[in-house]
Amino acid sequence: MTTNVGILGAGAWGTAVAKVIAEKGIPVDIWSHEESTAEDINQLHENRRFLPEVRLPENLRASTDAEAVANGKEFLILAAPSLYLLDTVKKILSVPSIMEGQTTIGVITKGFIPTKKGPRLILETLEDYLPGFYKHSLVYIAGPSHAEEVSRGKITGLIAASESAKHSIRFRDLLRTNRLLVFSSFDVKGVQVAAASKNVVAIAFGMLDALKTEACKKDIEDMFGDGTESLLLAAGLNEIQLLGRAMGATHPETFTSISGVGDLDVTCRSIFGRNRRFGREIIEKDILASFTSIDDIIERIGEIGYLPEGVVAAKYVYQLAEQYKLKMPISQGVYRILNREIGPLDFLHTFIKDLG
């Protein structure tokens, strides 16, 4: 099998990763759910909807046929949002190269998968559907990264986590450039928990960040500053580590590395962060006013105009905290805000009081 790559999911991150690989001279096929996006990639060499103003290589081709994109590939990268990931994988189960275990599979989606047993980590859920060849061999790729920066060659670091050292190294070599640094890890569960949970903290960070601005201080006491944000970020990291240990994380350094504190920091502070943006818009635009509950937000998430995966993660982190009997005031507070039970200021006052 010659070196070629398929990517399922033509959102911003899937497209950015595809661009990095294609620029190394490796042919890449990317699956798009939207016909218009596929046409833009093929005809204009640009993903105008999800990654505008980024020129894409001509050896990056798009299709709306998931089976065609997956078939015969040496590497397949799953990049569909967590809400739709399982349905996407079901589209390719009958692909010959997948059925025979010839393709090495990596995942760049962040989040949890809902099941009848409750929220589960992505890789263990996919293993239940994929052929047995893929048991303990899937690779999970995450780290402090934004599509807007990676696609423009900004220096970035990622973690390729797998129980298979061989497959981790193969994806490390596939993705690595002089601008994209990739490191291996065996802590598959810890890296997945960190990648999913940090989006919830980022929503809280966005709300706090908005409350700091002059426009939002008209009727609010000026009590939040940079130190408050650092307090929130540190407490959020503690919650992520707490959940990670409960779910089977094996390496404490996962949470002090780029997959932990690094990813949390960039998600909370970057202007490109969709979850930070959503948190800000809760304050600035009262974006929750048109929703009745967190389930209502998830059901109508397409109306927001972008995808804040932290909304979905907030529901599942709340359920996991209940399941493992964990005290996670930030994550549980974000859930209650999104579920229209409390307001952001009430949450922040209670959170700070509890810390004291």
Residues 297-330 pLDDT 10s: 999 999 999 999 999 999 999 999 999 999 999 9
- Whole-number percent of the chain with pLDDT over 90: 89
Catalytic residue list contains 116: no
- Flag whether pLDDT at 39 surpasses 70: yes
Instruction: State the Cα–Cα distance between residues 32 and 143, nearest whole angstrom.
Output: 24
Separation between Cα atoms, residue 17 and residue 56, nearest integer Å: 11
2, with CB counted inside 10 A (0-12, 13-18, 19+), is exposed
What lies within 8 Å, CB to CB, of 89 at 6+ separation is 8, 78, 126, 129, 130
Note the pLDDT of residue 213: 78
The domains of the chain, with CATH numbers, are 5-186 (3.40.50.720), 189-355 (1.10.1040.10)
Q: How far apart are CA 91 and CA 80, in angstroms?
A: 12
Interval 53-83: pLDDT, tens:
999 999 999 999 999 999 999 999 999 999 9
**Among the listed residues 300, 305, 280, 304, the one whose alpha carbon sits nearest the alpha carbon of residue 49:** 305
pLDDT at 117: 85
The predicted model scores a pTM of 0.95
Q: Which residue, chain included where needed, has tokens 């920091």? A: 265
Closest-CA residue to 345 (of 286, 267, 295): 286
The pLDDT, as a whole number, for residue 350 is 82
Which pLDDT score is estimated for 222?
Answer: 74
Q: Quickly tell me which residue has 């939040």 as its tokens.
A: 224
Are 130 and 158 within 8 A, CB to CB?
A: no
Q: Which two tokens stand for residue 137?
A: 């061999």
Q: What is the pLDDT of residue 1?
A: 55
Q: Distance between CA atoms of 33 and 252, rounded to whole angstroms?
A: 38
> Alpha helix locations (H) across the chain?
12-22, 35-39, 66-70, 82-90, 96-99, 122-127, 147-150, 165-175, 188-212, 226-246, 263-269, 274-284, 294-299, 309-324, 329-338, 344-355
Q: Which residues partner with 77 through β-bridges?
A: 7, 106
Round to whole Å and give the CA distance between 351 and 68: 50
- Residue 253: pLDDT band by 50, 70, 90 thresholds? very high
User: By C-alpha distance, which of 278, 344, 341 is closest to 310?
Assistant: 278
Crossing angle of helices 188-212 and 309-324, in 10° steps, is 120
Q: What is the pLDDT of residues 93-123, one digit of tens each?
A: 999 999 999 999 999 999 999 888 899 999 9
Look at residue 293 in the predicted model and tell me its pLDDT: 98
The stretch 252-261 carries a mean pLDDT of 96
pLDDT for position 219: 60
From the list 351, 333, 210, the residue with the least C-alpha distance to 283 is 210
Distance CA 284, CA 215 (A): 8
Distance CA 107, CA 109 (A): 6
Tens of pLDDT along 162-195? 999 999 999 999 999 999 999 999 999 999 999 9
Does the pLDDT at position 216 exceed 60? no
Average pLDDT in the 283-288 region? 95
| CA 211/CA 349 separation, integer angstroms | 12
Q: Using pLDDT thresholds of 50, 70 and 90, give the confidence band for residue 221.
A: low
How many helices (H) does the chain have, and how many strands (E)? 16, 10
At 312, list the tokens: 């979905």
Active-site option among 198, 217, 218, 285:
198
Mean pLDDT of 249-265: 96
CA separation for the pair 334, 202 (Å, rounded): 10
| Cβ partners under 8 Å of residue 144, min gap 6 | 156, 157, 258, 262, 263, 265, 266, 267
Confidence of residue 214 (pLDDT cuts 50, 70, 90): low
